[in-house]
Chain A
Amino acid sequence: MKALMFGWEFPPHILGGLGTASYGLTKGMSLQKDLEISFVIPKPHGDEDQSFLKIIGACYTPVVWRDVAPEKLKERFNSSMSPDEYYALRDHIYADFRYLYTNDLGCIEFSGRYPDNLLEEINNYSICAGVIARKEQFDVIHSHDWLTYPAGIHAKNVSGKPLVIHVHATDFDRSRGKVNPQVYSIEKNGMDHADHIICVSDLTRDTVIHKYNQSPAKVTTVHNAVDPVSKDIENIAPIRNTGDKIVTFLGRITMQKGPEYFVEAAAKVLEKTKHVQFVMAGSGDMTEAMIHLAAKRGISDRFHFTGFLKGKQVYEMLKSSDVYIMPSVSEPFGISPLEAMQVGVPTIISKQSGCAEILNNTIKIDYWDIEAMADAIYSIITYPAMYNFLKTEGKSEVDEIKWEYAGQKVRNIYDCVCGL
Chain B
Amino acid sequence: MTVGAIPLSARPAPSTPQQWWTLTTRMIAPTLANGELATQIIGSIVFTVGFYLPLKNILGAVQPMSSYAQYLTPLIVVQAIFFAAVSAAFRSAIDALQGINRRFRAMPMAALTPLAARMTASIYRCVVALVVSLACGHVIGFRFHGPLWHTVGFIALTLLIGAALALVGDLIGAATRNPEATAPLLLVPQVTLGLASVGLQPVERFPGWIQPFVRDQPLSQFLNSMRALAGDSTPAAPPVTWSVIGPALAWVAGIVVVFTWLHARVAARRP
* A and B are partners in one complex rather than unrelated chains: no
The chain B residues found within 8 Å of chain A, CB to CB, are none
